[in-house]
Amino acid sequence: MKTLIVFRHGKSDWGANYRGDHSRPIVKRGRQAAATMGRFLALTGHLPDNVISSSARRAHETVELAHSAGSWKCQIEIEDSFYQANVDIVLSRIQREPDSTELLLIAGHEPTWSDLVSGLSGGGQLRFPTAAMARIDLDIHHWSAAAPATGRLIWLIPPRLLSDSGLEI
């Protein structure tokens, strides 16, 4: 079995001074949510073996904050093709992941992330808020076998659920 964590970037700053959509940063709330989600993964023992992030500033900024807050030890790969990608592009990259990776985290954008989670888990609609994470357990032994309906959605956690819980995360 392989585990995939799908991580949507934090709330972006539409009012910031930036050059084009690709370089839009995240706001303070997005930075806080990213750190919360990084600590959440660490506290629950879901530390990724590898992270692949969209090259968009808001995505890799989110994952870098989560990585730091959760004291993750893995590398972060920046993937240009994840920016404005469709599900087929993302799935193709997942299928090329080395089999030594047991838990892969990918960071990127809507609507691709909800479409990917829905497709891998066999259908249905879901809402994927900013900085939310979804865990999918894939019934595969090799990433090359990742395909629609090969996984089960185990959880979808928005950061608000954790920050409103009163827990120390």
137 located within any domain: yes
List the domain range (segments joined by +) for residue 150: 2-9+23-163
How many domains, in total, are found in the chain?
Answer: 1
Give dist(CA 82, CA 73) in Å, integer. 22
Chunked in runs of 10, what are the mean pLDDT values of the chain (169 residues)? 98 77 88 96 97 97 98 97 97 98 98 97 92 98 98 96 70
Q: Are 138 and 4 in contact (CB under 8 A)?
A: yes
End-to-end CA distance of the chain: 28
130 located within any domain: yes
pTM of this prediction?
0.94
18 located within any domain: no
17 located within any domain: no
- Label residue 57 exposed, middle or buried (CB < 10 Å: 0-12, 13-18, 19+): buried
136 located within any domain: yes
Give dist(CA 159, CA 30) in Å, integer. 9
Q: Residue 69 sits in a domain of what CATH number?
A: 3.40.50.1240
15 located within any domain: no
